[in-house]
Amino acid sequence: MAHKFDPSKLEKLDDPSRLDLFDPARVLKEFGLKKGMKVLDVGTGAGFYLPYLSQIVGEDGKVYAIDTQEVAVEYAKRKVEKLGLKNVQVVKSQENSIPLPNESVDFVFMAFVFHELQSPVEFLKELKRVSKKNAYLAIIDWKKEERDKGPPPEEVYSEWEIGLMLEEAGIKVGRVIELSRYAFGIYAIFLQDDGEGFRNPVRIPPGMV
């Protein structure tokens, strides 16, 4: 799979027309992002969603924005500085080695990134390492059907395929929702395992039931 984004088109990721794909402020809140949380923005690219993430978590929260491409990291850093997002830190990452300590984030956000992963299950296990018990995972990606935007259908995963990979990585799927005619969202959680199976301590997703 692994349809990689062309970094020469990075500025297109800052196009306001991307708001046609889904409403970031509404979706992030519905998927459980709250003030004071530490959130990981995977594959931040041009940092399009950083202002929304920064505003929701507030001064007491923290946003870690990671990308594997140096050009994207530098672009996002300039954006963070320009907008004065003091609770955002942009860092370069390796795909399956995230430069964060164990159990350090409350919420993982992946928007239109999953289909680019070389080893999805391995990466999900790395996300599990850096996520606190009962942390939330929001995956948003292109529908596997003909569209007038985004990569071709054969280069993205279906909701079912992503669900199977989440299950293999030991991450619990909460709900799959339609976000627009272009995109779907998957809400998942890094549930606590007490040796007797998973226990679900929260409503899934918190803002949608």
Q: What are phi and psi of 29, to 5 degrees?
A: -70, -40
Assign 3-class secondary structure to the chain: CCCCCCHHHHHHHHCHHHHHCCCHHHHHHHCCCCCCCEEEEECCCCCCCHHHHHHHHCCCCEEEEEECCHHHHHHHHHHHHHHCCCCEEEEECECCECCCCCCCEEEEEEECCHHHCCCHHHHHHHHHHHEEEEEEEEEEEECCCCCCCCCCHHHCCCHHHHHHHHHHCCCEEEEEEECCCCEEEEEEECCEECCCCEECCCCCCCCCC
Give the per-residue pLDDT at 15: 76
Confidence of residue 209 (pLDDT cuts 50, 70, 90): very low
The CATH code that applies to domain 23-199 is 3.40.50.150
Q: What pLDDT shows up at residue 205?
A: 58
What would the pLDDT profile of 104-150 be if each residue is shown by its tens digit?
A: 999 999 999 999 999 999 999 999 999 999 999 999 999 999 999 99
Mean pLDDT rounded to a whole number for the chain: 89
pLDDT, average across residues 186-203: 66
Residue percentage of the chain with pLDDT more than 70: 86
Of 12-21, 38-47, 107-116, which range is least confident?
12-21
- Prediction pTM value: 0.89
Q: What's residue 193's pLDDT?
A: 61
Query: Is 185 within 8 Å of 177 (Cβ atoms)?
Result: yes
In the chain, where are the structural domains located? 23-199
Report the distance separating Cα 68 and Cα 177, nearest Å: 28
Block residue for tokens 């619990």: 172
